[in-house]
Amino acid sequence: MKQEFKVIHVELKEQYNGKNHYYFGSKAAIYDTLPERLVGISKESLWNINLHNKDYSNKKCIIRLGTLIRRRTKRGK
């Protein structure tokens, strides 16, 4: 059996801390790691964008919604 979780992938067009690709569990979590000036869109504006329909793109980044698929384990039971 498998578990699926949503993942928000932010691809920066310029590196930040040596990386271009960042992965988050929520839109709000993006802004705990990346400054708004690097993302190019405010948290409030991003909340109004439905990533289920299509990716978001601007001059600074591409934001995609994906699925993380994990295998269920029996550890801890």
| pLDDT per position as a tens digit, 16-69 | 999 999 999 999 999 999 999 999 999 999 999 999 999 999 999 999 999 999
Evaluate whether residue 55 is within a structural domain.
yes
Q: Is residue 76 part of a domain?
A: no
Q: Are 33 and 22 in contact (CB under 8 A)?
A: yes
Q: Is the pLDDT of residue 5 over 70?
A: yes
Number of separate domains in the chain:
1
pLDDT band at 77 (very low <50, low <70, confident <90, very high): low
- The pLDDT value given to residue 40: 96
Burial class of residue 40, CB neighbours in 10 A (0-12, 13-18, 19+)? middle
Residue-range definition of the domain harbouring residue 60: 2-71
Note the pTM of the prediction, 2 decimals: 0.86
With left for phi above 0 and alpha for psi between -120 and 50, is residue 76 left, alpha or beta?
left
In a domain, 59, yes or no: yes
Query: Is the per-residue pLDDT at 73 higher than 80?
Result: no
Up-side HSE of residue 39: CA atoms within 13 Å toward CB?
22
Measured distance CA(68)–CA(66) in Å, rounded: 7
Residue 25 lies in a domain: yes
- pLDDT of residue 1 exceeding 80, the answer is no
Please report whether residue 77 resides in a domain.
no
